[in-house]
Amino acid sequence: MLTIYNLHAKIEGRDILQGVNLVVPPGEIHAIMGPNGSGKSTLAHVLFGHPSYQVTDGTITFNGTDVQKMKPDARARLGMFLAFQRPVEVPGITAAHLLRAASQAKGDTPTSLKEFEDGLDAAFDRLHLDRAFATRSFNEGFSGGERKKMEVLAAVTLAPRLLVLDELDSGLDIDALRTVAEEVKRFVEEDASRSVLLITHYNRILKYLTPDVVHIFQSGVIERSGGAELAEHIEEHGYASA
Ligand SMILES: Nc1ncnc2c1ncn2[C@@H]1O[C@H](COP(=O)(O)OP(=O)(O)OP(=O)(O)O)[C@@H](O)[C@H]1O
Ligand SMILES: [Mg+2]
């Protein structure tokens, strides 16, 4: 379970997170919605120990472990995974190599190459991505939507316990959105110890991936939490009404 208490963080002298409190229990999908620039991606980066941000107060614990002094790779080994708002290219390394190396580095139970590749093929098929992408340079020359799908594919292949998805819906057409939403749903339903934190500013994806809890994020804090109906309220009335 993820527990964030009174989290404050700044970047380049500017206070962005101003006392975030959040608990995400296993088996649940939580959505964080908020306007542009409110600090949603900042929260995601701080959760994963991005070195540009300075945590000035508060705590982040994951399954009882205080992760704040841990490097991003140590957090990943604990079972945390962040899918980026803007996925990065890794020229010269194929997706298959990158993901197998990441899985080994994470300390996953070793599987044979054949088993690993079969699992990868199945994920490519579920996401309606051409299997040929496995042998191309990771994300190099991929379209925006293909990158987003690769990010989800990487996430489910590495099977974290907490999956944080930052603006998963940006750049996805309606069919791709449904495909990735179904994959994330399958992923969380497959194992009751998994949870998802979905960061978004639109209600769109939440129609396919119903959250257990919706948190409204404004000016660096969670201002309000509620059920899925809160997302619909925002869609109708905007953030100013929250
Ligand atoms: N490197 C930086 N230097 C200065 N300010 C920054 C830096 N990175 C982020 N910020 C500022 O922090 C604030 C929060 O940004 P953040 O990316 O967390 O917003 P967001 O809620 O994810 O927005 P969006 O919905 O547009 O993705 C913004 O005002 C942004 O300009
Ligand atoms: Mg953002």
The residue contributing the CA closest to ligand 1 atom 18 is 39
CA 76–ligand 1 middle distance (angstroms) = 23
Tell me how far apart the alpha carbons of residues 119 and 101 are, in angstroms, rounded to a whole number: 15
**Residue ranges, the chain, pLDDT below 50:** none
State how far the alpha carbon of 170 is from the alpha carbons of 141, 163, 201, in Å. 18, 17, 10
> Which residues form ligand 1's pocket by a CB distance below 6 Å?
11-12, 14, 16, 34, 36-42, 52, 85, 167, 201
pLDDT value of position 236: 87
pLDDT value of position 70: 94
Give the closest residue to 22 by CA, choosing from 195, 182, 181.
195
- The structure tokens listed for 69 are 């002094």
pLDDT value of position 188: 95
Most distant CA atoms of the chain, gap in Å: 54
pLDDT value of position 86: 78
Q: Which of 38, 43, 203, 223 has the most ligand 1 atoms within 8 A of CB, as the residue to mutate?
A: 38
| Bridge pairing between strands 195-200 and 29-33 | parallel
Ligand with smallest separation from the Cα of 38: 1
Tell me how far apart the alpha carbons of residues 207 and 70 are, in angstroms, rounded to a whole number: 35
CA 114–ligand 2 middle distance (angstroms) = 37
pLDDT value of position 203: 83
Tell me how far apart the alpha carbons of residues 95 and 160 are, in angstroms, rounded to a whole number: 18
Residue ranges of domains in the chain: 2-178+191-241
Answering whether pTM is above 0.85, one says: yes
Tell me how far apart the alpha carbons of residues 64 and 32 are, in angstroms, rounded to a whole number: 22
pLDDT value of position 149: 94
Contact 100, 116 (CB under 8 A): yes
Taking only Cα atoms into account, the Rg of the chain, rounded to an integer number of angstroms, comes to: 17
CA 6–ligand 1 middle distance (angstroms) = 19
Q: Would you tell me the crossing angle of helices 95-106 and 144-158 to the nearest 10 degrees?
A: 30
**Beta-carbon contacts of residue 48 (< 8 Å; ≥ 6 apart):** 72, 75, 80, 82, 164
Ligand with smallest separation from the Cα of 166: 2
Q: Which of 7, 16, 85, 205 has the most ligand 1 atoms within 8 A of CB, as the residue to mutate?
A: 16
Tell me how far apart the alpha carbons of residues 69 and 74 are, in angstroms, rounded to a whole number: 10
pLDDT value of position 242: 61
pLDDT value of position 141: 87
Give the closest residue to 76 by CA, choosing from 105, 56, 44.
105
**CATH class given for the domain over 2-178+191-241:** alpha beta
- The structure tokens listed for 76 are 């990943």
The SS3 assignment for 36 reads coil
Tell me how far apart the alpha carbons of residues 15 and 42 are, in angstroms, rounded to a whole number: 11
pLDDT value of position 84: 81
Which ligand 1 atom minimizes the distance to the CA of 167? 27
CA 40–ligand 1 middle distance (angstroms) = 8
**Beta-carbon contacts of residue 177 (< 8 Å; ≥ 6 apart):** 169, 204, 205, 208
